[in-house]
Amino acid sequence: MQPVDLLVSARWVIPVEPAGAVLDDHSVAVARGRIVAVLPSGEARQRFEAREHLRLDKHALIPGLVNLHTHAAMTLMRGLADDLPLMSWLRDHVWPAETKHVSPEFVYDGTLLACAEMLRGGVTCFNEMYFFPEAAARAALEAGMRAALGIIAFEFPTSYAADADDYIAKGLAARDALREEPLLSFCMAPHAPYTVSDRTFAKIVTIAEELDLPIHTHLHETQQEIEESLTRYKARPLERLRALGLVGPRLIAAHAVHVTGEEIAMLAHQGASIAHCPSSNLKLASGFAPVAAMLARGINVGIGTDGAASNNRLDLFQEMRTAALLAKAVSGDAQAMPAHQALAAATLHGARALGLEASIGSIAPGKLADLCAVAFDEPELAPRYDPVSHLVYAAGREHVSHVWVAGEPRVRERLLVGFENRGLNNRVLLWQNKLAAETKA
């Protein structure tokens, strides 16, 4: 018999690839952090001798979820300024709070809190855009979680950097220092067309091509953003970025709410990806992204939560359900974004946008064992005709029982594994008191 580190036998294995597959009574064998085989459980017991054999008789085993757009440290601002439009929320509340409080300690604590929340909800990889990426990296590594860290850029100074060149230089230095970490990857992350100049965008394109990195940016999130761009640049933001060479397979466009049919066609032709953030778009009244039209044109659509300050959850199960429901309502087509497609958006499509689809995003031999088990043993998940339908429309993050990242357990029986930061709750309370005092002042 072949020795392996882990054998997970589940009632259903949902591999995501091939599309639509549901494997009854199958097992996943893992050795040295990678998937060795996916096969019927009876055969697995005869073929493999596992150091640990976990039997999950009432569970669905799925790939770890990929949060394609977030600002993890902003968990410390969860509920700080709610029920406001985007630009008022940013300019009057978020940016002033960040100016006074954001530091490496703020980013580390906020990101660690976010990692705990995301892991318990089945998220094994997140695409991060925030200040002090080395502090976010430290938190992700401590949590044992996969992160794609943004090399952020703005034109205005913050406590992190003085100008766009300084942001980029510091982000590249963080990448150089952390590039050997197997759980980490990097993206160029210019914040948005309304905060980044043509010169900086052009520099970012050159660096992304030299280093083979994705480019992650907010784009067409609000109608106001588009109107301001027309006034200032005589072009819509997407057209401006196209002229600067940003629109292509590297682009991860976060939100993409206000796009025309012609722009959808252009994004499809150029091979760009969308980070769809349905709950954030709803909460900030940004609008309804035409996801069904994007999918119909073959655009790669992943799912993100955005930050906890504008959501207020880092919950990919909620986002899958909301994305699928909104796609149907907006398009008038009940068949738009069916359950299998919503699950793929939260897993493989996010991995593809990050250039990680060869390693994560589906359950296939050779891939890293980033896995999530969802327990179907509660009354609210009975009866069970279609496990994928239940994953998207009925289950929630509270049903996640086990999570592995590269074969290492991170959640076991709904409890975090190896999360030893006992002082985190006290530090979060200190941040809460600081920010609350600032808000009242």
pLDDT per residue as tens, the chain (441 positions): 999 999 999 999 999 999 999 999 999 999 999 999 999 999 999 999 999 999 999 999 999 999 999 999 999 999 988 998 888 888 888 888 888 999 999 999 999 999 999 999 999 999 999 999 999 999 999 999 999 999 999 999 999 999 999 999 999 999 999 999 999 999 999 999 999 999 999 999 999 999 999 999 999 999 999 999 999 999 999 999 999 999 999 999 999 999 999 999 999 999 999 999 999 999 999 999 999 999 999 999 999 999 999 999 999 999 999 999 999 999 999 999 999 999 999 999 999 999 999 999 999 999 999 999 999 999 999 999 999 999 999 999 999 999 999 999 999 999 999 887 779 999 999 999 999 886 655
Is 402 within 8 Å of 121 (Cβ atoms)? Answer: no
Res 439: pLDDT: 63
Is 235 within 8 Å of 254 (Cβ atoms)? Answer: no
With respect to CATH, is domain 65-353 assigned 3.20.20.140?
Answer: yes
Res 420: pLDDT: 76
Is 11 within 8 Å of 376 (Cβ atoms)? Answer: yes
Superfamily of domain 2-63+366-406: Urease, subunit C, domain 1 (2.30.40.10)
Q: Give me the phi and psi of 74, to 5 degrees please.
A: -75, 0
Report the sign of the C-alpha dihedral through residues 272, 125, 36, 13, in that order: negative
- Letter for the amino acid at 353? A
Using alpha carbons, select from 11, 56, 2 the residue that is nearest to residue 29. Answer: 2
Is 167 within 8 Å of 160 (Cβ atoms)? Answer: yes
For residue 373, list its beta bridge partners. 61, 402
Question: 3-state class of 192 per DSSP?
Answer: coil
Alpha-helical runs (H) found in 179-315? 198-211, 223-233, 237-243, 261-270, 278-283, 291-296
d(CA 131, CA 103): 8
Question: 3-state class of 133 per DSSP?
Answer: helix
User: Where is 392: in which H helix or E strand?
Assistant: helix 387-393
Per 3-state DSSP, the chain is made up of helix, strand and coil in percentages (nearest 5) of 45, 25, 35
User: Which whole-number Å values give the CA distances from 126 to 204, 279, 412, in the listed order?
Assistant: 21, 17, 20
d(CA 312, CA 332): 28
Res 319: pLDDT: 98
Res 136: pLDDT: 98
Domain residue extents for the chain? 2-63+366-406, 65-353
Is 277 within 8 Å of 305 (Cβ atoms)? Answer: yes
Res 387: pLDDT: 98
d(CA 362, CA 64): 8
Question: 3-state class of 162 per DSSP?
Answer: coil
Place of tokens 């699950």: 343
Res 95: pLDDT: 85
User: Where is 89: in which H helix or E strand?
Assistant: helix 86-89
Q: Hey, how many other C-beta atoms are within 10 angstroms of the C-beta on 124?
A: 29
Q: Hey, how many other C-beta atoms are within 10 angstroms of the C-beta on 261?
A: 10
User: Which whole-number Å values give the CA distances from 403 to 35, 349, 410, in the listed order?
Assistant: 14, 19, 5
d(CA 272, CA 274): 7
